[in-house]
Amino acid sequence: MKTKILAAVAATLSLVALEATAETQFNRLVWDADPAHQAVIAFSAKGISTDPYVKYGFDTDEASWTTQEPTSSENFVTFLGYIKSSFVRLNGLTPNTDVFYRVCDQDGCGDRFYFKTAPTDNSPYVVVAGGDTRSGWTNRQKGNALVGKIRPLFVMHGGDYTNLNSSAEVSSFFIDWELSYSNDTIDGVEYKRTYPIIPTHGNHEDGNFKTLCKIFGVDYNSDGKCDESDTYGAFNISPLLRTYTLNSQYQNSGWSSHAAAMNNWLYTDLADNGPTVTWRIAQYHKPMFPHYTGKSANTELFTWWSQAFYDHGMNLVVESDTHINKMTQALAPSGNDFVASESGTVFVGEGSWGAPARSANNPKTWTIDLASIQQFKVLQVTSDKLTVRTAQFDETAETLTREQRDADTTILPNGVNWWHANNVGEALNLVQAANRLSVIENISSGGTNQISIAATQDTYIASSKTSSNFNGSSDGLLADGYDISNGEMISLIKFDIENMSTCADTSRVQLGIEITDDSTGDYEVYAANADWQEGTATWNSVGGDSIKGAYLATFKPTVTGMLEVDLSNSNIVDYWLANGNHGLVIAHVGDCNGLSCNGVDFHSKETGSGPTLNVNYNHNQSCIPEGNIEAASGALTQSIINAGDGETVVFRFTLNNGIADAELHGLSLSADGEIDEVGDIDGVKLYQDTNSNGKAEANEEIALSNYTVDNGDISFSFDAALSLQLGSNAFLVTYQL
């Protein structure tokens, strides 16, 4: 007989009531007018979100909150889709007060957010300013996270949010922007603090001049319309500061009427409203004089704004676009360039909030310092001082708490990786002269120039994979005495030093690399003794270990983060200038034992903050440089010319001079094209365009010549050596047809 055993199982069913959440996303806060009393809450649909609205109040008691529907909505339509955004403009807010809010729709309400309105007294505060977040997302995310650690009152963004200005990329930008939120527990409830953005139009938004009002909801001119005029404006943050946002892209063909309207407004506003505050700060995208040789001077912007800035006390200008970092002296306009002045406008930038840093290789005579780094500016605004710092992106900064920020409105977190400027240090302190322009309080006498050159090529090679090319690897750059898969690994790095003067005496050379995986091993730096290209370099193609030439330095990368390797005693720059530049080699040295077998990993230019070469130098005044002149892109002003056109400007170029008492003794140009330079051209004239108006004027003619060979060279000689001023020197070439 079988016994049947019945097992009784008791099951407990637990029911949890879930709070419905709104079908919205991409929460961002925007300022475009009177931030003590107004703000724009912007958000986008996620799935089906109908009849969205915002609930807000001045404490955490949601029962007392006010409900407000969107003021406007916009579809940002691109070739890959669209983003539907709603904008709720809050009015009548209380100054210097926390505003709590939630975004709601038919499905419920979303996360709890809050922000702080601007003060109406002289209470000090912190501002973040930077631009160019269009690529380099890892660094963009680090910068965004640093915003949340610093807890500024607001953020000035200099444009180029994305690369293609597509809906997909804008969505990615908004997702990354969520990293800037600060997480707080208030009255036992979790809130996220958001930071208002004041947005700028960049060149990567040129495909749609309505981008700012489409995705941020700005209405700078308060006309209730979303159009191309919503790319510039100004408003007081408090009695301490008025911010000016300008559109540098109006300098492009087809926008002359908008440019005229903007500049007329600017001149009037500076005169009428500039004196009502203590400090004035401007932001726009394209710099007047980029500090990278691959970017031409924007002389039209200089013509538009430089004198107005000086006449009306513009204290600080934040520029973007170039993907480098720079800091200038207090400047005054003089002719077609700036000169250092006891009081003037200070210019900083030039936009590297994620976008890959370029070589900071074009210092001006009035530049304090420059560097090829990932960064934004952190400003402390007080009634008697405007302090400017440059924050580099890493994870070392501590996070300020809500209580710390409330107790001290200008405190900055510990552990921020501050850049130290030559002759200034960590902080640039601005005070005001009687004319309201900036005076740099803490600059010391120096005279040393510095450039920061980003790696132009980098890769690694592996002895166990002799035919493999690792350029652009997600691992970055690797060096290892032995790896079970790859064997020995060696990194190769190359820098473009063509723009280093042959008359430069280098006093300090530092190789900067950002370590992502440390090692207790020793590593050596060598000069590469043969040429290589990052896209084809393999262990076999470069000869393996034989690529190592002259020994330069040894280092031990025991911690992650930025590491500088001193190459000052190696004379490597002079060696490259004299013998040809094949770059650097980094390799493990010694036996591979224990932990030293863990090779070192560091960022390539594709994976993050790539290698840089930071060079301090002085000009050798006894050296007379000679060289070729290459015109900037776009210098050819007439590509089609016809017989009978008369004298026509066909070519213009600029010589940038950084040497006092420099002289030009002669000049040669090469011609190429379908025209017969010998038979069709009666004469070629050279003009020094001293007023930079692009016109050939009789009093500016300096030389006359003729071609002797079709598609050949033409030379100009001068009766006396031509003196070059410091900075930019503009020239024109005309053909007589």
Average pLDDT, the chain: 89
CB 322 within 8 A of CB 358: yes
Question: Averaging pLDDT over each range in 21-25, 50-54, 199-203, which range is the top one?
Answer: 199-203
Whether 492 has a pLDDT exceeding 80, the answer reads yes
Confidence at residue 26, expressed as pLDDT on a 0 to 100 scale: 96
Helices marked H in 85-136:
none
Residue 450 — pLDDT band, cuts 50, 70, 90? confident
Q: Is the pLDDT of residue 640 over 70?
A: no
| Contacts (Cβ under 8 Å, ≥6 apart) of 232 | 220, 245, 246, 247, 262, 265, 266
pLDDT band at 6 (very low <50, low <70, confident <90, very high): very low
pLDDT number for residue 7: 35
Give tens-digit pLDDT for 551-570. Answer: 999 999 998 888 999 999 89
**pLDDT band for position 642 (cuts 50, 70, 90):** low
The percentage of the chain sitting over the pLDDT mark of 70, rounded to a whole number, equals 90
* pLDDT tier for residue 634 given thresholds of 50, 70 and 90: very low
Average pLDDT of span 457-474: 96
Looking at residue 324, its pLDDT comes to: 95
Give the pLDDT score at 630. 45
Residue 626: per-residue pLDDT: 52
Residue in 333, 332, 417, 348 with CA at minimum distance from that of residue 386:
348
The domain over range 450-619 is classified in CATH as 2.60.120: yes
Residue 164 has pLDDT above 90, yes or no: yes
Q: Mean pLDDT, to the nearest integer, of 424-445?
A: 92
Integer Cα distance of 540 and 546 in angstroms: 10
| Tens-place pLDDT, residues 105-121 | 988 999 999 999 999 99
Residue 608: pLDDT band by 50, 70, 90 thresholds?
Answer: confident
With a cut of 60, say whether residue 5 has pLDDT above it.
Answer: no
Query: Is residue 647 very low, low, confident or very high in pLDDT (cuts 50, 70, 90)?
Result: confident
Q: Is the pLDDT of residue 679 over 80?
A: no
Q: How far apart are CA 564 and CA 414, in angstroms?
A: 22
CATH code: domain 24-447 is 3.60.21.10
DSSP secondary structure, 32-66, as one string: -S-TTT-EEEEEEE-SS--S-EEEEESSS-GGG-E
* Local confidence band at 494 (pLDDT 50, 70, 90 cut-offs): very high
pLDDT of 597 over the 90 cut: no
DSSP 310: H
Report yes or no: 173 and 136 within 8 Å, Cβ to Cβ.
no
User: Residue 655 pLDDT > 90, yes or no?
Assistant: no
CA neighbor of 233 nearest in space, from 413, 6, 32, 440: 32
Q: What gap in Å lies between CA 730 and CA 720, rounded to an integer? A: 18
**Distances in whole angstroms, Cα of residue 282 to Cα of each of 233, 285, 354, 672:** 10, 10, 22, 43
Q: What is the CA radius of gyration of the chain?
A: 29
Close Cβ partners of 699 (under 8 Å, ≥ 6 residues apart): none
Q: What DSSP assignment string belongs to 143-175? A: HHHHHHHH--SEEEE-S--SSS--HHHHHHHHH
CB 318 within 8 A of CB 129: yes
Is the pLDDT score of 622 beyond 80?
no
pLDDT grade for 141, boundaries at 50, 70 and 90: very high
Write down the domain spans for the chain: 24-447, 450-619, 647-736
Measured CA to CA, the distance from residue 59 to residue 39 in angstroms comes to 17
Phi, psi of 130 (to 5 degrees): -175, 180
pLDDT at 646: 80
What is the per-residue pLDDT across 306-348, written as a single tens digit (0 to 9) for each?
999 999 999 999 999 999 999 999 999 999 999 999 999 999 9
Q: Is the pLDDT at 699 greater than 90, yes or no? A: no
* Nearest CA among 148, 89, 110 for reference residue 25: 110
pLDDT band at 585 (very low <50, low <70, confident <90, very high): very high
3-class SS shares of the chain: helix, strand, coil, % to 5: 15, 35, 50
Q: Give me the pLDDT at residue 592, please.
A: 65
3-state secondary structure 381-409: ECCCCEEEEEEECCCCCCCCCHHHHHHCC
Pick from 177-186, 258-267, 583-592: least confident: 583-592
**Straight-line distance from the first to the last Cα atom of the chain, in angstroms, rounded to the nearest whole number:** 122
State the DSSP H helix or E strand holding residue 138, giving kind and residue range, or none if neither: helix 137-150
Which tokens is 255 given? Answer: 């926008």
Range with the poorest average pLDDT among 219-233, 239-253, 437-451: 437-451
Is the pLDDT at 656 greater than 80? The verdict is: no
- For the cut 60, the answer to whether the pLDDT of residue 629 exceeds it is no
Is pLDDT at 4 greater than 50 in this prediction? no
627, pLDDT greater than 50: no
Q: Are 255 and 238 in contact (CB under 8 A)?
A: no
- pLDDT band per the 50, 70, 90 thresholds, residue 10: very low
pLDDT-wise least confident of 39-48, 199-208, 660-669: 660-669
Asked whether 467 and 475 are in contact (CB, 8 A), the reply is no
What is the token pair recorded at 83? 């983003």
> What's 215's DSSP letter?
H
Q: Can you give the pLDDT at residue 431?
A: 95
Average pLDDT of the residues in 594-619: 82
d(C-alpha 122, C-alpha 522), whole Å: 54
Q: How far apart are CA 213 and CA 85, in angstroms?
A: 10
Which residues partner with 417 through β-bridges? Answer: 392
pLDDT band at 660 (very low <50, low <70, confident <90, very high): low
Confidence grade of residue 652 (pLDDT, cut at 50, 70, 90): confident
pLDDT higher than 60, residue 209: yes
**What pTM does this model have?**
0.78
- The dihedral sign for the CA sequence 214, 216, 222, 228: negative
Per-residue pLDDT at 12: 32
Q: Is-contact 421 440, C-beta < 8 A? A: no
> What is the Cα–Cα distance from 147 to 182, expressed in whole angstroms?
9
Q: Do domains 24-447 and 450-619 have the same CATH topology?
A: no
Residues 701-716: tens digit of each pLDDT? 888 888 888 877 888 8
Q: Angle CA(593)–CA(594)–CA(597) in degrees, nearest 5?
A: 70
Residues 6+ apart with CB under 8 A from 242: 234, 235, 236, 273, 274, 276, 277, 279, 280, 281
Distance CA 476, CA 155 (A): 31
For residue 532, what pLDDT is reported?
Answer: 96
Helix (H, G, I), strand (E, B) or coil at 205: helix
- The length of the chain, given as a count of residues: 737
Q: What percent of the chain has pLDDT over 90?
A: 67
pLDDT digits (tens, 9 = 90+) for 377-413: 999 999 999 999 999 998 899 999 999 999 999 999 9
Q: Residue 206: pLDDT above 70?
A: yes
